[in-house]
Amino acid sequence: MDSSTRQDSATAKLMEQILYEVKRVVVGQDRFLERVMVAMLAQGHLLVEGVPGLAKTLTVKTLANTVRGQFKRIQFTPDLVPADLVGTRIYNQKTGDFSTSLGPVFANLLLADEINRAPAKVQSALLEVMQERQVTIAGETHRVPSPFLVMATQNPIETEGTYPLPEAQVDRFMMKVLVDYPTDEEEYVIVERVTGPAVQVSAVATTEQLAALQAECRNVYVDPSLVQYAVKLVSATRTPDKHGLKDLRRFITFGASPRATINLVEGARALAMLRGRTYALPEDMVDLVPDVLRHRLVLSYEALSEGLNADAIVAQVMSKVPQPAKPLEHEKLVA
């Protein structure tokens, strides 16, 4: 067994241990947990939409414990100010000096609960940290810890007292994931676990090991034909006419940005790695397309009046843009 094979085996075992520990606490939500892992490996951020009580907070907190990371949660409210997130300068009357108090964004895993309840200035402060991974307070720059993952949640059933996220800023989220109710069987197990003895989660990795996994993820092979597929998918949301989707033109005001193409490629890499491969396949990218594109499309009033949502538009785009054939390179790697 050569060194690269041993390394691949060790990587797969470590990710398996992390997932096992999280699943000891979190019941069901396999797809959601997979997306959290993809975002973590690809160094992206998640926007999650789901009603309260679906283990969104529990998932991120448990994951932080398994990798010995620092977890913080911010409850967004209308009276929040940017300093409540990033920190501020505090004056000490005794010494006459100013000291810097860093805010809760300085964590490995940050949960921004109900991000649409805070005004635009606070949302912008968080989204700036997500992009730059640093904060400037009184002219002094402070970098957030690495690895750094932000998971922001939105509650779809309450709109009163909320501030919609600007389209240009929501583009900074790698994926928007929709979390649904558990099945009856899963809910039965949830009740048993919550009302039974508390499960103690073991830390099976360190943040340094997680950073190494992120670096390894960048080495996953993505064939040029798969990159071209991502480009065509995103291009079809901007100029549907060129891709045989003339009817969609009236439903889309603005298509997805180049960030979507980048996130599709990075996401396919991470998902391939999670599935134990050193190369990405078309199905890795196909699985992520709705999550990567749904929050990046700005639909027209005509689309909304006809009851169309972003997922329906994305489904039409995917049906028209053909998937690439599995490249020969994969056969060489498997052989």
pTM of the model: 0.86
Report the pLDDT value the prediction gives residue 23, as an integer from 0 to 100: 84
Report the pLDDT value the prediction gives residue 97, as an integer from 0 to 100: 80
Q: In this model, does residue 286 exceed pLDDT 90?
A: yes
Report the pLDDT value the prediction gives residue 335, as an integer from 0 to 100: 47
What are the residues whose beta carbons fall under 8 Å from the beta carbon of 25, sequence distance 6 or more?
58, 62, 193, 199, 201
Q: In this model, does residue 287 exceed pLDDT 90?
A: yes
> How far, in Å, CA of 90 to CA of 99, rounded?
5
What is the mean predicted confidence (pLDDT) over 236-248? Answer: 86
* Predicted confidence band of residue 234 (pLDDT cuts 50, 70, 90): very high
- Tens of pLDDT, residue by residue over 162-176, are 777 777 778 889 999
DSSP structure string for 229-262: HHHHHHHHHH-GGGGT-GGGGGGEEE---HHHHH
- Tens of pLDDT, residue by residue over 154-165, are 877 666 667 777
What is the mean predicted confidence (pLDDT) over 33-52? Answer: 88
* Predicted confidence band of residue 5 (pLDDT cuts 50, 70, 90): low
Share of the chain above pLDDT 70, in %: 93
* Predicted confidence band of residue 1 (pLDDT cuts 50, 70, 90): very low
Altogether, the residues listed in the chain come to a count of 335
- Tens of pLDDT, residue by residue over 177-210, are 988 888 888 889 888 888 888 778 888 888 888 8
> How far, in Å, CA of 227 to CA of 39, rounded?
19
Look at 228 and 67; give whichever has higher pLDDT: 228
- Tens of pLDDT, residue by residue over 248-285, are 888 988 889 999 999 999 999 999 998 888 899 999 99
Buried b (16+ CB within 10 A) or exposed e, 142-160: eebeebbbbbbbbbeeeee
Q: In this model, does residue 47 exceed pLDDT 80?
A: yes
What are the residues whose beta carbons fall under 8 Å from the beta carbon of 105, sequence distance 6 or more?
72, 74, 85, 86, 87, 126, 129, 135, 144
